[in-house]
Amino acid sequence: MKWAALAAGAAVFVSACGNCHTPMGPDGPIADQELSGRFVISFPEFDAWSPNITPATIGGWTDQEIARAIREGIRPDGRVLGPPMAFELYRHISDEDIAAIIAYLRALPPVENEVPRSVYRIPLPDSYGPPVGEVTAPEPGETVEYGAYLAGPVAHCIECHTPMEGPRHLYDTRLGAGGRDMSGPWGPSISANLTPAPHALARWSDDEVIAMIRTGHRPDGSAMLPPMAYGFYAGMSDRDARAIVAYLRSLPPRD
Indicate whether 45 belongs to any domain.
yes
For residue 68, pLDDT beyond 90: yes
Name the residue type at position 27: D
Q: Which of 91, 80, 69 is nearest to 126 (CA)?
A: 80
On whether both 25 and 58 belong to a single domain, the answer is: yes
Q: Count other C-beta atoms under 10 Å from residue 128's C-beta.
A: 20
Instruction: Assess contact for 13 and 101: CB atoms under 8 A.
Output: yes
Indicate whether 135 belongs to any domain.
no
- CA–CA gap between residue 249 and residue 3 (Å, rounded): 35
On whether both 116 and 7 belong to a single domain, the answer is: yes
Q: Domain with 167 in it: what CATH number?
A: 1.10.760
Instruction: Assess contact for 83 and 48: CB atoms under 8 A.
Output: yes
For residue 27, pLDDT beyond 80: no
Which of 120, 136, 167 is the C-terminal boundary of a domain?
120
Check: pTM over 0.85? Answer yes or no: yes
Indicate whether 63 belongs to any domain.
yes
On whether both 163 and 242 belong to a single domain, the answer is: yes
- Residue 1 banded pLDDT, cuts 50, 70, 90: very low
Indicate whether 127 belongs to any domain.
no
Domain residues for the domain of 210 are: 144-250
On whether both 11 and 112 belong to a single domain, the answer is: yes
- Residue 255 banded pLDDT, cuts 50, 70, 90: confident
Spell out the residues 6+ positions from residue 230 whose beta carbon is closer than 8 angstroms to its own.
213, 214, 215, 216, 224
- Domain count for the chain: 2
Candidate ranges 20-34, 126-140, 158-172, 230-244; pick with highest mean pLDDT: 126-140
